[in-house]
Amino acid sequence: MNVIFKLLPEAVWVDDLHDKRSIIEALATRFAKVYSLDRTAVLEGLEEREALGSTGFGRSVALPHARIDGLARPVAALLKLESSVDFDAADNMPVDIVIGLLSPTNSGATHLHALAALSRMVRDEDMHRALTEAQDTEALYALLTNASDRDAA
């Protein structure tokens, strides 16, 4: 089985953002730069999905996602915030880990499988703790890619 989503090291970063809007904008910018996508299309897709309801997953994690044109397979980005930010999460807790997911427009169940894999990852207590305690982008990247590879096997 193939890995459910692609994650490049450049798509993992730590930042000091202070509101939901700046997080969504930074995510769109990072996706556009790393995966050679149209920033406006990415931003519109993320904002459209967020307008349906917060992607604040709970447990200090948000999973902003969208389906957009220009992709052959799902791609991910991981942002760790230096301080927690209100994201209108389901559990009303602020967010400090943001995992973005973009999938091809007509990806059907593939998008849902990728979201489910990310959801399982962050619900796992050990993984959640490791993401929270990770000190740099290399550690964050390794955590997500190793978990993704393990889940795909």
Q: Is 65 known to be catalytic?
A: yes
Alpha-carbon separation of residue 95 from 26, 54, 91 (angstroms): 15, 12, 10
In angstroms, the CA 49 to CA 11 distance is 20
From 18, 65, 113, 128, active-site residue: 65
Q: Say which residues have a Cβ less than 8 Å from residue 53's Cβ, sequence separation at least 6.
A: none
Q: Are strands 12-15 and 75-85 parallel, antiparallel or unpaired?
A: parallel
Kind and range of the H or E run holding 111? helix 109-123
Query: Residues with catalytic annotation?
Result: 65
